Amino acid sequence: MKFAFATTAALLVSSVHAIPLVRRQAAVATPEQISQLAPDLGAFPNTNPNQFGDCDGPRQANGEIPRVPCPCPPLRDEYIRQLTANIQAGHAVNNPTVRMSFPVGNSLQDKHDRITAAIITLQNLNGPGKGCPGVSTTLGIQSKNLDTCGDFQCNGNTSPASSSAAPPATSTTSAAAPPPAQTNNPNAGGLSREEVDRLAPQLGGVQNNNPTGTGDCDGPRQPDGSIKKVPCACPPDRTTFINQLVANIQAGHAVNNPTVKLTFPTGNTPQDKRGRLTAATITLQNLNGPGKGCPNVSTTIAQQALNVDKCGDFECGGVSSASIASTDSRSQSQSSSAQQGTSEAPNSNTPTRTTNGGASSTVTVTFTTVVTSVITVTRGQEQKTNTATNPPAATSAPAPILQNASTTSVASVAAAGGAGGLSRDEIDRLAPQLGGVQNNNPTGTGDCDGPRQPDGTIKKVPCACPPDRTTFINQLVANIQAGHAVNNPTVKLTFPTGNTPQDKKGRLTAATITLQNLNGPGKGCPNVSTTIAQQSLNIDACGEFECGSSPAPAPAPAPAPAPSPVPAPAQAPVQNGNPNILSRDVVDQLAPQLGSEPNRNPTGTGDCDGPAQPDGSIKKVPCACPPTRAAFIDALMANLAVGHAVNNPSVSLSFPTGNSREDKLARITASTVTLQNLNGPGKGCPNVSTTFAQQALAA
């Protein structure tokens, strides 16, 4: 019974943590045995899709009905095909490190093991940790039933009918399909691209909005008022979105996920509009492969769905359902005020978008005020060009001050040559000071303190942020010469040289764009690693970067270094100062355990559960995190050999060998630096994919 409990526990958290226990059977089951003995999944894909593109999973043991990806679970034939391949290989074909077996006996353990094999198959259906979550099935209930009565079903507590049976009619229809009677053209195969573009909803989000420097950005505000983190590349530009939507409509399903059917109603009823929202969601969520694309929260589709319920249209009076997201949407302003931790209500202005069909429709564009975005300023000139092409309708509210100011200043500078003739020294003199220092008050987890923000808070930032003055100016010069962020060409950039408040705000914007795209699109240093927000407020107050006793720091191209990320005594443990003296065995023995393993409880989207943190929370982490012990030690050895992170040379590292608390904390820090820079500067595994925080508290 102890073994059964362990298997059940593993199932209930959808984890393959206990899988290595399952290796009792020498003979491999035949395909016929697998098909006969494999547990039913107990559910069908595309059940009761909602406006968010999610579907209902089956009722779980606790009575809840979870939301799951609409393609989950797979149909019986696909499930058996993949299960058979895995069993014959002895491991998950798409995740070879996960072993599995399929006992054919009738004991309690045999049945538990078959459920485990089914879960492994589902969770790795499309790649390592990418597939369907356990809660998209009734396997959890079946596992509980085994503990209760020794069988998959106990009297009245049964799982749903076998998934090999024909699914209900409502289940075979895609998440996108409203009742056929309510569509003018169910397949929409005869629609032109222009007609699809005219009827398709606006996405309402913009790429690269308030990047954190880790590849995540802010999505648009959702109906509950929250702002979710989304990939910086989401949502796609209008052209990419419409091209994929047209391909899906013509095929009658998601081209990149053929099991998900799709229709595109052309009528004007609420049901038709909901159907088009669903088609858009399916297209986004499968943009790059099955379940691989952009999440719904990177758009305003959820708000538009609520609007359809409320007033029968994508927009209801003053409710802004979408920022413009057509092919010229990149010209609309993005707000980065979330970087300053603000949550002010948006103001709005209302440009007119002319559709391909020639009709005009008013779309409310939201902007966030306060140290409103530096990126708001950058896009000013482009927006001016757009409104000249499509004359604006009467606005319901004045345009944001920052946007208007920057439009004038940036336009004048662009006309004068975009500051391309400036020398490096002139740019260095005109560019704002960043006001922060690297490695300030490190926590031992790779995070450090940024400078105090206007609201009095101190935000956690990557310890490598902000960059040194030389690196910053070099990148800024390159961006100015190119007229855009070199590492993110869609983001335009100018550098006003005048002395007006607008010119100074324009230079703050150029600095922010440079920082936020330092290492790639949306990958760099967050604004809160600097005092740019305070300097922007100072310009509003007194016209200068600093106002009297303003807290904005004085220029600090070579600030006194803050404490190193490695706690003292950092140098004492390495004999003769040469880390190469330590053997791999010694490093392996002294390095902290990672405390977790990859592919724990995958959601089917590439995210998995990390281990419980000191506060009891479980964070979502990349399914590949943490790395294997061997890969971790290899990377740690390489870093120790050079005294810094090989993939991020500005971050120093040492490895004490003593037994003091300081020595242990330093080794944890070295391990953290190694993990967080495993694949490049700041690119690796987050600390919450390990138990390092818990070990640091216990040191």
The larger pLDDT score, comparing residue 677 to residue 79, is at 79
Q: What is the pLDDT of residue 257?
A: 87
Q: Is it the case that residue 459 has pLDDT exceeding 50?
A: yes
Mean predicted confidence (pLDDT) in 37-62: 83
Q: Is it the case that residue 335 has pLDDT exceeding 60?
A: no
Closest C-alpha among 319, 322, 284, 275 to residue 300: 322
**383-419 tens-digit pLDDT:** 333 333 343 333 333 333 223 333 333 333 333 333 4
Q: Is it the case that residue 179 has pLDDT exceeding 60?
A: no
**501-519 tens-digit pLDDT:** 999 999 999 999 999 989 9
Q: What is the pLDDT of residue 660?
A: 92
pLDDT band for 53, please (50, 70, 90 cuts).
low
Q: What is the pLDDT of residue 477?
A: 94
Mean predicted confidence (pLDDT) in 411-431: 67
Q: What is the pLDDT of residue 334?
A: 38
pLDDT band for 478, please (50, 70, 90 cuts).
very high
The larger pLDDT score, comparing residue 13 to residue 318, is at 318
Q: Is it the case that residue 70 has pLDDT exceeding 90?
A: no
**600-622 tens-digit pLDDT:** 888 777 778 899 988 888 988 88
Q: What is the pLDDT of residue 397?
A: 35
Q: What is the pLDDT of residue 667?
A: 94
Q: What is the pLDDT of residue 68?
A: 86
Closest C-alpha among 379, 418, 415 to residue 400: 379
Q: What is the pLDDT of residue 248?
A: 93
Q: What is the pLDDT of residue 52?
A: 59
pLDDT band for 633, please (50, 70, 90 cuts).
very high
- Residues contacting 460, CB < 8 A, separation 6+: 443, 447, 448, 449, 450
pLDDT band for 203, please (50, 70, 90 cuts).
very high
Q: What is the pLDDT of residue 175?
A: 36
pLDDT band for 237, please (50, 70, 90 cuts).
very high
Cβ atoms of residues 545 and 433 within 8 Å: yes
Q: What is the pLDDT of residue 189?
A: 58
Measure the CA–CA gap between 462 and 651, rounded to whole angstroms.
11
Measure the CA–CA gap between 635 and 28, rounded to whole angstroms.
38
Mean predicted confidence (pLDDT) in 356-362: 35
Among 401-415, 653-667, 675-689, the range with the most confident prediction by mean pLDDT is 653-667
Q: Is it the case that residue 200 has pLDDT exceeding 90?
A: yes
Measure the CA–CA gap between 473 and 489, rounded to whole angstroms.
18
Q: What is the pLDDT of residue 373?
A: 33
Mean predicted confidence (pLDDT) in 630-645: 92
**b/e string for 265-276 if b means 16 or more Cβ within 10 A?**
bbbeebebbbbb
Q: Is it the case that residue 378 has pLDDT exceeding 70?
A: no
Cβ atoms of residues 517 and 524 within 8 Å: yes
Mean predicted confidence (pLDDT) in 523-548: 91
**Lowest-confidence segment of 73-82, 294-303, 329-338 by average pLDDT:** 329-338
**b/e string for 370-390 if b means 16 or more Cβ within 10 A?**
bbbbbbbbbbbbbbbebbeee
What percent of the chain is modeled with pLDDT above 70? 70
What percent of the chain is modeled with pLDDT above 90? 39
Give the chain's mean pLDDT.
Answer: 75
**Lowest-confidence segment of 71-75, 81-85, 373-377, 670-674 by average pLDDT:** 373-377
Cβ atoms of residues 599 and 124 within 8 Å: yes
Mean predicted confidence (pLDDT) in 65-71: 87
What residues does 645 pair with on adjacent strands? 648
Mean predicted confidence (pLDDT) in 433-449: 83
The larger pLDDT score, comparing residue 340 to residue 297, is at 297
**153-173 tens-digit pLDDT:** 887 444 433 333 334 333 333
Distances (CA, A) of 257 to 254, 284, 288, 447, 673: 5, 11, 9, 39, 38
Q: What is the pLDDT of residue 332?
A: 36
pTM of the model: 0.31
DSSP 8-class letter at 620: E
Q: What is the pLDDT of residue 195?
A: 92
Measure the CA–CA gap between 77 and 235, rounded to whole angstroms.
34
Give the alpha-carbon dihedral of 195, 198, 199, 204, to 10 degrees: 150
Q: What is the pLDDT of residue 581?
A: 65
Mean predicted confidence (pLDDT) in 282-295: 88
